[in-house]
């Protein structure tokens, strides 16, 4: 019998070429044990990877059971060599194990060092872990995968490939056979230990699939004692493993993971090409054809002639750059030059749908609980909020810490699309009380699994999803509503990026009215406006300093743009604008910042002075300035006189008065000058114009309180020349009787 050996396959993580070579090498070797670089905690769930319902991309998810936010994802696409090795073993019923340093040690080690969050790099994706890519670059290839293809192309013998890789890596690591980073040393020691164990168990042909960089460290298994010493006494925490669905988008750099691959869709294409991936022209032609199909599908011009030209240009570019075959960058640039004719949109489409790809994985039902579910259960226990199927009402007093957390939790779940709680009636006007109807539905568990993609804790997931939604909303008021929800749901990590977004949107909106709405309109769910949140946020202990900056910028922009949006508007728009001005005025009063008030009053003064401003708005501005004691009564009288002068059409004048007297008319009772002006103006009107403006004036005066109207009446009586209305002596008794009957009906009903 031949002596037991292990065969090392040094691979490129997420490299389709490596995956193909590994698959072929495994078939040739027919091993009796497969070891892959991965967390041993996942051993128990590896069998799920061959489940018929499983569809890559997926991620192995290892998390600390005590602290679900301490978690690490090992994403696998179908072109990942590890995934291919594992499924090969499962298919052939060969035992398969993970051999990396277990996360129960890694988490514990990290705990002593820096904090580990979701956004951290999972070890498998660390950028320094692509030594093959580095070699490819050194060899003049723009793309590590194309280099691998050439390598395979030149030597069909896969075993030779892997020994070449091993040789190259040994040369690369010549300077540091043992890693200087202690963490790396632990990992490699653990891998060797796993290998020794496998030998002891009597396995004869062991296949080892690991990142190329580690290959040289696993050749010799000497030094067992040193490894054991190194690994002795490592700290430990409790961990659990599960699967989560993944997307190609999240495999990329842009997804927030510190590292990743830039072009999962391109790798997927290379994988799907199968053996034909060795033929450079075939790859280019297929790719360009897919580009053309995609563009055609979106009604963009893309003919076969385009494909031909794009292929030619890609090859010419590769030749000019002295690359043997066109890499992804050549394909991209050729596609840009031939298909896009100067527009960026098709290229974005190509990038999103082909280069990155939109494939979403799915996982079987038997998958263990995701940490998000566990986190929610933990919080429900801690806050004593039992999920029940019956509908019940809870009242929260936000001055209590526990209640505040309950409110935040249900709001976070709402943001995740789990409507466990619906807001109840508003019982009092106080800002510290709220009521919720709670009802748990079984469908929520499914929703939680789907939400697992956003994170491992309710708060983290709610933050991620909120930011995603905010990025997609292009209406300013929607964004404001999201901001309010995030504030109330206590998502501190979301606030800063949300504010950046809000600021950007606020800048780019050309519509000052929209800005005013954004500042003052109340969100349906939180019943709070941006200004309210800023002013009363302290009840919830919100950090509002960032909002203050953004609100400040919005106020400045409103003040600069105000006179533009009030110029040359029709009656309907003026009415809307008038409501906005009133709301903004109230908001600025609420904010109580003298600098903002100053800006605002200056902007209002412009409205009074400028021409072509709608009368309603000019009058309103005049009134607000009067109230703010920015305008003397004399000055106001001058403006009123201008507005009522005969050059102005009577309807404009009436609108001006409506603006001036909005809400209350008390002050004209006491100001002789203003009173006289209005009185004279009414006197000069012709019958016809009086008829036209009566409804307008009525609308104004009808808003006054009874008491005010009474005072106004009194004032009119005292006026010189006033005479009481003369009752007509000829009463029509029949008509009066009908009216009297109705009056009696009303009186008795009450």
Partner 1 sequence: MTTLLREHAEQQYADELQALAAHDERQRPPRWRLSPWAVATYLLGGQLPDGTTITPKYIGSRRLIETAIATLATDRGLLLIGLPGTAKSWVAEHLAAAVSGDSTMLVQGTAGTSEESIRYGWNYARLLADGPSAAAIVASPLMRAMQEGKIARVEELTRIPAEVQDSLITILSEKTLPIPELGSEVQAVKGFNLIATANDRDRGVNELSSALKRRFNTVVLPLPDSLEQEVEIVQQRVTSLGRALELPGEPPALEEIRRIVTIFRELRAGMTADSRTSLKSPSGTLSTAEAISVVNSGMALAAHFGDGALRAGDVAAVLVGAVIKDPVQDRVAWLEYLETVVKEREGWKDLYRACRELA
Rounded Cα distance between 91 and 114, Å, is 40
The closest of 6, 62, 21, 63 to 38, measured between CA atoms, is 62
> Could you count the other beta carbons within 10 Å of the beta carbon of residue 432?
15
Strand-by-strand arrangement of the 421-423 sheet: 392-397, 433-438, 421-423
Q: How far is the CB of 328 from partner 1 (least distance, A)?
A: 13
Rounded Cα distance between 123 and 107, Å, is 12
Q: How far is the CB of 279 from partner 1 (least distance, A)?
A: 21
Q: Work out which of 393, 446, 560, 740 binds partner 1, going by CB under 8 A.
A: 560
With the CA atoms of 245, 60, 205 and 187 taken in that order, what torsion angle do they form, in degrees rounded to the nearest 10? 150
Residue number, 300 or 360, with CB nearest to partner 1: 300
State whether residue 500 is helix, strand or coil.
helix
In this chain, which stretch among 231-239, 291-299, 475-483, 552-560 interacts with partner 1, using CB under 8 A? Answer: 552-560
Is 329 one of the binding residues for partner 1 (CB under 8 A)?
Answer: yes
Q: How far is the CB of 583 from partner 1 (least distance, A)?
A: 22
Residue number, 238 or 321, with CB nearest to partner 1: 321
Residue number, 230 or 607, with CB nearest to partner 1: 607
For residue 61, the cross-strand partners are 73, 242
Is 507 one of the binding residues for partner 1 (CB under 8 A)?
Answer: yes
H-helix segments, 384-475: 401-415, 443-451, 458-472
In this chain, which stretch among 144-152, 327-335, 425-433, 672-680 interacts with partner 1, using CB under 8 A? Answer: 327-335
Site string for partner 1, 285-324 (x = CB under 8 A): ----------------x-x-xx--x--xx--xx-xxx---
Site string for partner 1, 338-357 (x = CB under 8 A): x-xxx---------------
Task: Give the tokens for residue 321.
Answer: 């750059």
In this chain, which stretch among 78-86, 177-185, 458-466, 506-514 interacts with partner 1, using CB under 8 A? Answer: 506-514
> Could you count the other beta carbons within 10 Å of the beta carbon of residue 247?
19
Peptide bond into 57 cis (omega under 30): yes
- Dihedral pair phi/psi, residue 71, rounded to 5°: -150, 155
Going by their DSSP bridges, the two strands 96-98 and 33-36 should be labelled as: parallel
Q: How far is the CB of 316 from partner 1 (least distance, A)?
A: 4
Q: Work out which of 200, 225, 384, 508 binds partner 1, going by CB under 8 A.
A: 508
Alpha-carbon torsion (428, 430, 431, 434), positive or negative: negative
Residue number, 471 or 663, with CB nearest to partner 1: 471
**Cα Rg of the chain (Å, integer):** 37
Is 336 one of the binding residues for partner 1 (CB under 8 A)?
Answer: yes
In this chain, which stretch among 15-23, 405-413, 425-433, 550-558 interacts with partner 1, using CB under 8 A? Answer: 550-558
Rounded Cα distance between 498 and 518, Å, is 14
Residue number, 341 or 705, with CB nearest to partner 1: 341
Is 553 one of the binding residues for partner 1 (CB under 8 A)?
Answer: yes
Rounded Cα distance between 375 and 70, Å, is 12
H-helix segments, 326-435: 328-339, 345-349, 371-382, 401-415
Q: How far is the CB of 537 from partner 1 (least distance, A)?
A: 22
How many residues of this chain interact with partner 1, rule: CB under 8 A? 33
Is 561 one of the binding residues for partner 1 (CB under 8 A)?
Answer: yes
Is 556 one of the binding residues for partner 1 (CB under 8 A)?
Answer: yes
Q: How far is the CB of 504 from partner 1 (least distance, A)?
A: 4
Residue number, 423 or 553, with CB nearest to partner 1: 553
Structure-token match 């190194």, residue found: 230
Is 564 one of the binding residues for partner 1 (CB under 8 A)?
Answer: yes
> Could you count the other beta carbons within 10 Å of the beta carbon of residue 194?
19
> Where along the sequence are the contacts to partner 1 (CB under 8 A)?
301, 303, 305-306, 309, 312-313, 316-317, 319-321, 329, 333-334, 336-338, 340-342, 503-504, 506-508, 510, 553, 556-557, 560-561, 564
């Amino acid at each position: 019998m031949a002596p037991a050996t292990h065969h090392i396959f040094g691979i490129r993580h997420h490299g389709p070429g490596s995956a193909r070579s590994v698959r072929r090498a495994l078939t040739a070797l027919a091993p009796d044990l497969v070891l892959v670089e991965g967390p041993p905690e996942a051993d128990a769930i590896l069998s799920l990877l061959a489940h018929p319902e499983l569809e890559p991309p997926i991620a192995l998810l290892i998390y600390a059971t005590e602290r679900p936010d301490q978690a690490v994802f090992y994403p696998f696409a179908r072109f990942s060599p590890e995934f291919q090795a594992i499924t090969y073993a499962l298919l052939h019923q060969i035992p398969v194990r993970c051999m990396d340093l277990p996360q129960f040690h890694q988490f514990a080690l990290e705990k002593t060092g820096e904090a580990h969050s979701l956004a951290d790099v999972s070890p498998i994706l660390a950028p320094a872990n692509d030594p093959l890519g580095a070699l490819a670059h050194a060899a003049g290839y723009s793309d590590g995968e194309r280099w691998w293809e050439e390598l395979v192309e030149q030597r069909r013998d896969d075993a030779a490939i892997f020994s070449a890789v091993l040789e190259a890596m040994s040369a690369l690591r010549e300077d540091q056979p043992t890693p200087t980073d202690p963490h790396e040393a632990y990992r490699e020691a653990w891998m060797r230990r796993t290998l020794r164990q496998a030998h002891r168990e009597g396995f004869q042909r062991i296949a080892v699939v690991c990142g190329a960089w580690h290959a040289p460290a696993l050749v010799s298994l000497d030094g067992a004692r040193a490894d054991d010493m190194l690994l002795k006494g490592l700290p430990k925490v409790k961990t659990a493993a599960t699967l989560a669905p993944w997307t190609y988008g999240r495999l990329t750099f842009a997804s927030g993971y510190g590292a990743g691959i830039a072009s999962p869709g391109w790798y997927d294409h290379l994988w799907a090409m199968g053996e034909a991936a060795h033929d450079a022209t075939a790859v280019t032609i297929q790719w360009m054809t897919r580009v053309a199909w995609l563009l055609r599908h979106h009604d963009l011009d893309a003919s076969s002639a385009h494909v031909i030209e794009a292929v030619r240009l890609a090859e010419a570019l590769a030749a000019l750059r002295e690359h043997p075959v066109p890499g992804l960058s050549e394909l991209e640039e050729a596609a840009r030059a031939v298909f896009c004719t100067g527009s960026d949109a098709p290229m974005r489409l190509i990038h999103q749908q082909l280069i990155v790809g939109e494939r979403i994985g799915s996982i079987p039902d038997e998958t263990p609980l995701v940490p998000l579910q566990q986190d929610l259960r933990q919080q429900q226990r801690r806050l004593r909020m039992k999920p029940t199927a019956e509908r019940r009402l809870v009242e929260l007093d936000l001055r209590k810490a526990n209640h505040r957390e309950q409110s935040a939790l249900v709001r976070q779940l709402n943001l995740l699309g789990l409507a466990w709680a619906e807001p109840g009636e508003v019982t009092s006007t106080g800002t510290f009380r709220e009521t919720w109807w709670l009802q748990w539905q079984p469908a929520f568990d499914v929703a939680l699994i789907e939400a697992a993609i956003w994170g491992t804790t309710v708060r983290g997931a709610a933050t991620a999803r909120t930011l995603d939604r905010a990025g997609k909303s292009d209406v300013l008021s929607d964004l404001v509503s999201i901001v309010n929800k995030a504030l109330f749901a206590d998502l501190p990590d979301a606030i800063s990026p949300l504010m950046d977004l809000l600021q950007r949107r606020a800048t780019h909106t050309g519509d000052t009215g929209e800005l005013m709405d954004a500042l003052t309109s109340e969100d349906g769910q939180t019943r709070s406006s941006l200004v309210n949140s800023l002013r009363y946020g302290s009840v919830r202990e919100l950090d509002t300093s960032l909002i203050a900056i953004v609100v400040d910028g919005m106020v400045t922009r409103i003040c600069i743009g105000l006179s533009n949006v009030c110029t040359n508007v029709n009656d309907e728009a003026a009415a809307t604008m008038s409501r906005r001005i009133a709301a903004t005025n109230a908001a600025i009063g609420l904010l109580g910042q003298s600098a903002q008030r100053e800006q605002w009053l200056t902007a209002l003064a412009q409205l009074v002075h400028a021409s072509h401003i709608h009368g309603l708005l000019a009058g309103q501005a005049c009134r607000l300035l009067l109230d703010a004691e920015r305008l003397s009564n004399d000055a106001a009288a001058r403006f009123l006189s201008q507005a009522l002068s005969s050059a102005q059409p009577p309807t404009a004048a009436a609108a001006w008065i409506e603006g001036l007297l909005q809400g209350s008319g008390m002050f004209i009772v006491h100001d002789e000058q203003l009173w006289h002006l209005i009185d004279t103006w009414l006197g000069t009107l012709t019958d016809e114009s009086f008829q036209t403006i009566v409804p307008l004036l009525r609308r104004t005066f009808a808003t006054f309180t009874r008491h005010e109207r009474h005072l106004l009446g009194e004032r009119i009586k005292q006026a010189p020349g006033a005479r009481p209305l003369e009752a007509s002596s000829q009463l029509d008794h029949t008509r009066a009787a009908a009216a009297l009957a109705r009056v009696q009906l009303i009186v008795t009903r009450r």
